[in-house]
Each structure stands twice: as C-alpha cells, then as structure tokens.
A = this chain, B = another copy of it.
Amino acid sequence: MENNQIAQMKAVLEAALLTSAMPLSLDDMSRLFPERIERATLRMLLDELTQDWQQRQPVSMRLVQVASGWRFQASEELVPFLARLSPDRPQRYSRALLETLAIIAYRQPVTRGDIEELRGVAVNPNTIRQLIERDWIDVVGQREVPGRPSLYATTKTFLDDLNLKSLADLPPFESFVQQPEFALGVAQPESQSTLPMDIQE
C-alpha cells in the first residue's frame, strides 16, 4: 500500500472510532472501506494509531481493546478533570444489585432461583430489570425444569463498561474465598464443582 493510502485509511479509522458510540469490531471497521481489507492490515493500522496517540505528550486519549471491539477513551489521568463537567455522578448501585451481578458474572448462566439460593433472600424483580436495562445481563435461555425459568448471563456491554476483554479478565472467584482449604470436606475444588468458580472463555 502506498503511504498516502495508509494515511487515509488511518484517518478513516480514527474518525470512525472517535465518533462511534460503541466499540467497533474488526468486522465493523472492514465495512468502512469499499475495497476488501485484510484483518492483518486493520490490526497493523490500529497498532499504528495506538502508537500515534501514545506519542503525544501529554496523552489525551487512548485506543483500547475491549470485549466487543476497539474504542478511544480518555486517558485515566485526565478523568478527574473531565469529571468536573458532570458533577452529578451516576449513583452507586445497591449491594443487592451488585451481589446479583456478581453471581450472574461468576456463575452464569443462572436462574433467579439460583441467585436466591446463593444469597439466601428473594430477588427483587427490579434488580434484574435494572441490570437488563443497563444492558449488563440478558436472558440466554430457559432451564428445562418446571416453570422454565430464564437463564441470565452477562453481556458484552458489561465487559465493555468494565473495560474487560473477556470474563477471564475478572478477578478469579477463588481469590474471594476466604479459606484456601476447606475443612469439613465441603467445597473441595475437585469434588465439589460449584466452588470455586472456574471461568472459561
């Protein structure tokens, strides 16, 4: 490819990434160009873009890869400045919602019943609705038991919003289990498959 062609493609990619409300996948990006474009070429251009932005001093934006693709985001050091623009910060979520989210993230796919069992209390339907509206979880199927309860799983948006490429980037569930060894013979990793969790991509 000629240099000015590369420069043009980089400009197109840059503008697309800076104006898109959602991360762009390689497939999305290949649609930008009328001619066929190799994924390797795209990756090379993305690498160059990443470096171009890194070389500016100070860095204002970074090109990062998240679960559903690539996006530009403000450099972390600048976030305290940008936060001054919107003093009404989004509200923190309730513990009930966060625990429900944690269960869905680490044990997916799960039913409401599973969540209630784990938390020992009834799940407020609002909690599930809030998570669905945020597009952090969705229904991926039904469990084939009486009542065919919905099975919930986390979405790509959840990963994107937490700056993760995949569920494997979540801190491992074992790190939260207080007892490295389980007395009383419960929850042995090999014997009891439910604990600790083992998240695979």
Contacts and interface: CB of A to CB of B under 8 A. Distances in A.
A168 interface: no
B61 A18 contact: yes
Contacts of A57: 7
Q: Is the contact region of chain A dominated by helix, strand, or loop, or is it mixed?
A: mixed
Given A7-B58, A24-B85, A85-B24, A75 B31 contact: no
A15 B78 contact: yes
A85 B81 CA distance: 32
Contact of A20 (B8, B14, B78, B85): B85
Given A60-B15, A61-B15, A32 B85 contact: yes
A59 B12 contact: no
B31 A82 contact: no
B11 A59 contact: yes
5 contacts: A10-B60, A11-B56, A28-B85, A31-B84, A31-B85
A84 B14 CA distance: 15
Nearest to A31: B84
Given A18-B72, A74-B15, A74-B18, A8 B82 contact: no
